[in-house]
Amino acid sequence: MDNFEFFNPVRVIFGKGKVADTGKEAAKLGKRALLVSYKDHQFFDDLLTNISSQLKAEGIKVVSHFEITANPMLSQVQSGVDICRKEKLDIVIAVGGGSVMDATKIIAAGTPYEHDLWKMIKSRHDIEVSISPQSALPILVVPTLPATSSEMNCGAVVTNDKTVEKSYVFNELLFPKVAIIDPELTCGLNKYQTACGAVDAISHVIESYFNCVDDTPLQDRLQESVILTIMDLVEKILDDPNNVSLRGNIQWASVLAWNGWIQAGVTPGSPMHPLGHVISARHNVTHGATLGIIMPAWMKYVYSQRVDRYVQFAQRIFGIDMNYGTFEEIALEGIRRFEEFIKRVGVPTKMSEVGIKADEIDAMVEDVARINFNASNTLNSRPPVGREGVKAVYQGAM
């Protein structure tokens, strides 16, 4: 296990009905709020009205910014920054899934930011081109989709709609002050959103599980528990979508997937995400779906170089006995069963399912290389993967 520092200051208020605390919690942070949500927000108009009423009852001025789309765009963030500056707002509140929370975080840091917003984003990995924010407005989040852990981490992802590049920023200023996690708010999610969110959450654990350093026995078990829990719960939720207990458990599991607890000392890269980011930047595919497509193809490409790890995954996640066959056969069967799970919950596992053609692959490889390759001209992965490997993964995902 590697040396590490751990810091997570987010105050979590969890439970059914806790959305009723939004007003009083916001009042502790500011008096002039930007309320951020989706451009298409009809599916929870009542929730937004409720929260707006709570804020006003606490004497908070509310300015709405309902302009965020799935895979949020930099222009949408810039518009929010412009409003905050013009109205002299002092708190930002997100009501929505990962896209809304990520956009809200960048708005919060972008309001006092002196540079072009894209400078905040880590848009190159071979050289340092980003400029860190120095301050941010306080952030309160009300998540409505279990998926990204954005409610309890300091990361945010955005797409530059001018350059069609998607990347991220991690900075301690982006930690929300308060996350109000009310599982009752997620009961209205349709089956596809629910399944994509679950696959997204699992992907964060998979990234660290297969790209970690050696000798992390406790983290291995923690990560396996999160994977198993989400896999078990999502199938039950698809059969019983209004079960608040099930929804609450999967929401908390998705938070733990990427809030830093189970990654401490593991030092993982996240090499599968850049391949998914290119898919969503080019085709606006739901983020969780892009990971459903990439994960099995990536695993098939690299498993032989960490076969013991993939055998452990097959044994502990799917209960495959050592008598099943050779190490290679056990590892491949574990990958096959994982891909079958993704298909079973209704998430695509092939690029052709979302309209991507093979003649796009070369350009997609160059997108990955330009944005995410390090100084060694590879992804930060174990084993290192270069252009040839990225192309092979995309081809395997067709």
pLDDT at 269 over 90: no
pLDDT surpasses 80 at 268: no
Topology of domain 191-396, CATH: Dehydroquinate synthase-like, alpha domain (1.20.1090)
Alpha helices, H only, the chain: 22-27, 45-57, 74-87, 98-110, 191-210, 217-239, 244-256, 272-283, 287-302, 307-318, 327-344, 361-372, 387-396
pLDDT in tens, 87-126: 999 999 999 999 999 999 999 999 999 999 999 999 999 9
Q: Tell me what the mean pLDDT of segment 32-40 comes to.
A: 96
pTM to 2 decimal places = 0.96
Question: Mean pLDDT over residues 48-76, rounded?
Answer: 97
The band of 172, judged by pLDDT with boundaries at 50, 70 and 90, is: very high
Is 80 exceeded by the pLDDT of residue 325? yes
Q: What is the pLDDT of residue 44?
A: 87
Q: What is the CATH number of domain 11-186?
A: 3.40.50.1970
Give the residue from 52, 59, 135 showing the smallest Cα distance to 93.
52
Categorize the per-residue pLDDT at 267 as very low, low, confident or very high, splitting at 50, 70 and 90.
confident
Please compute the mean of the pLDDT values over residues 154-172 and round it to a whole number: 96
Q: Give the pair of three-digit tokens for residue 387.
A: 């252009």
Taking only the tens place, the pLDDT of each residue in 376-385 is: 999 999 999 9
Tell me the average pLDDT across 33-38: 97
The helix/strand/coil state of 85 is helix
For the cut 90, the answer to whether the pLDDT of residue 42 exceeds it is no
How high does pLDDT run on average in the chain? 96
Residue 4 DSSP code? -
pLDDT of residue 40: 86
pLDDT digits (tens, 9 = 90+) for 273-310: 999 999 999 999 999 999 999 999 999 999 999 999 99
d(CA 202, CA 190): 19
Per-residue confidence (pLDDT) for residue 152, from 0 to 100: 97
What is the predicted pLDDT for the residue at 73?
97
What are the pLDDT digits (tens) for 351-367?
Answer: 999 999 999 999 999 99
- Contact yes or no for 58/31 (Cβ under 8 A): no
Give domain limits for the chain: 11-186, 191-396
Could you read off the pLDDT of 221-244 as tens digits, one per residue?
Answer: 999 999 999 999 999 999 999 999
CA dihedral 232, 233, 236, 242 (to 10 degrees): 180
Is it the case that residue 41 has pLDDT exceeding 90?
no
pLDDT score, position 66: 97
Question: Contact, 161 vs 122, CB < 8 A?
Answer: no
Cβ neighbours of residue 243 closer than 8 Å, sequence gap 6 or more: 236, 237
